[in-house]
Amino acid sequence: MNVMFYGILNRTVLIQKPLMPRFFFALLYLFWLVPSVSQAQETQRFEQHYEGVLGTTLDLTFYGPDSSEMEAAANAALVEITRLDAIFSSKRSDSEVNRLNRERVINGASTELLDIIELCARWENLAQGRFSCKLGRIITAWDKAEQTQVLPDRVQLQTLATASAAVQPTLYRGSRTITLPEPVELDLSGIAAGYILDRTFNFLHARLPDVTGIKLDSGGDAIYWGHPPLSEGWRVDIANPLTTQGNDTLATLSTHNGRAIMNNRHVNRFRSIGGQQYSHILVPGTGWPVAGNIGVITVAKSAVTADVATTAMTMQTTKDATLWASTTPDLDALIIDSAGNHAVSNDWATFIAEAIEAETGSVLALNYTLPIVQSQTPYSRPYVAIWVTDVNAKPRKNLLLLGKDQRWARENTRWWRQVGRARPELIDGIARPTRAPGEYRLTWDGHDEDGKPLPTGNYTLHVEAARQDGGHNYQTLPFTLGTAQTLELPGEGEIGRLVLEIK
């Protein structure tokens, strides 16, 4: 008897030759079907959250076939980030850059330090003097001023800034020698975060060749590559950098081809001296803080480009910043001034998934507090969800989500069951970190998730907060849309005082 053998799923099937036509097409169908079903089942989502990495949070999300491989890559990436931080950190006295600042010349410098100093000089030129890594002594003067509450001498700062701008570090690649001229001290904080993100992404991309999506998010500054399953790209909500309102979203971007997105969050970073607030961003030419109030969101092919650009454009007028972004390769930006006027670079529109109008017609305002909670473990910022349901308990609008991935969003169990499980795209990417303790405000224009106005009537505001190694609290506040009222809850545990104003 003539027979033929076919291997299917590691099993050998004996087929008599006369039955060949019937089984042949069945086997072809099986060979076609099994891989497609397997591929759909094999893609797994891996998420990892870290606190206190580079002075902020770190969130990693991968989509790929092997969860153990993705976990190993995440752990290795954290080791690499720690290694790079030990080279660049201005906060660590034992960092390589601070050793250079003290000794003025070092031999056998790391390749990474040589590379980043060259990048600093290149971007100082590209940014036309609006960016510098040579402000170490000026930054130290401002840190001292904040401690003593006495402003630095403006003339002395100007003299120091002028002298620093006139010279560059000397590099010898052969001996890996770096020499600092007077009066330069290096501070790499304006570029190191971007450099580390780029290096870490390249590390992960090389180590995980089979993944289809990577999100690398450091405190809201992130790189997005590929895409989640069944989507065309990552959706990233862009928060207004000039407000503390938690849900003041300027736009939703979509990106899939490897882009870094950064937000300068100008309003949250300042020094307070003598009752006045001074921006943390210093003008290299004067050593004095920027006087304007321009917020910048950048999208770039590299995190270094996005990082430097958010600083450099803050020192320009809205018009000049827009022109510079439009003529700088691989960079796009949205710029917003204190009056709320927006300007965008030439190709910004290519990243827009959803434009969001300014909420000038808000009908609800919520002042909420994240309290300081005493804990035996290191404090972790809470994950917060705020949403609205109708009289049938149907979710109508998600107002706020602080927390950037499913793993931690699920800690808010009620929000996850009611909203998140059905709308996972809400947490693909949010360009803001979880918030530190303090008082915040959000507004709502009365429209649902589809942009349609909700009718007047009775609704319920839900507030839920959960904290790693901390508590979990949930509160509700019924209200009537269309009726002017002010409602208040005293707060409990992870949720502080709530004041709801309905217009």
Look at residue 357 in the predicted model and tell me its pLDDT. 42
Exposure of 202 by Cβ count < 10 A (0-12 exposed, 13-18 middle, 19+ buried)? exposed
List the alpha helices (DSSP H) in 127-277: 136-148, 154-165, 192-207
pLDDT in tens, 313-341: 999 988 899 999 999 999 999 998 877 77
Element (H, E) at 28: helix 20-42
Yes or no: say if 186 and 101 are a contact pair by the CB < 8 Å rule. Answer: yes
Highest-scoring range by mean pLDDT, 80-84, 338-342, 426-430, 498-502? 80-84
Report the alpha-carbon distance of residue 487 to residue 243 in Å, rounded.
23
**Which pLDDT band, with edges at 50, 70 and 90, does 132 fall under?**
very high
pLDDT in tens, 458-479: 999 999 888 776 788 899 999 9
- Strand-pair category, 342-344 with 270-273: unpaired
pLDDT in tens, 259-285: 999 987 655 578 899 989 898 899 999
pLDDT in tens, 217-256: 998 899 999 988 878 788 888 877 776 555 567 778 888 7
Exposure of 33 by Cβ count < 10 A (0-12 exposed, 13-18 middle, 19+ buried)? exposed
Name the 3-class secondary structure at 292.
coil
Look at residue 407 in the predicted model and tell me its pLDDT. 54
* Mean pLDDT value of segment 375-398: 81
Q: What are the strands, taking DSSP E only, across 115-269?
A: 170-172, 177-179, 213-218, 221-226, 234-239, 249-255, 259-263
Look at residue 379 in the predicted model and tell me its pLDDT. 63
Q: 380 vs 472, which has greater pLDDT?
A: 472
Yes or no: say if 466 and 409 are a contact pair by the CB < 8 Å rule. Answer: no
Report the alpha-carbon distance of residue 264 to residue 281 in Å, rounded.
10
How far lies 491's CA from each of 169, 372, 398, 466, in Å? 54, 12, 20, 14
Q: DSSP class of residue 382? A: P
pTM value is: 0.70
Per the prediction, the chain carries an average pLDDT of 82
List the alpha helices (DSSP H) in 250-405: 303-312, 318-327
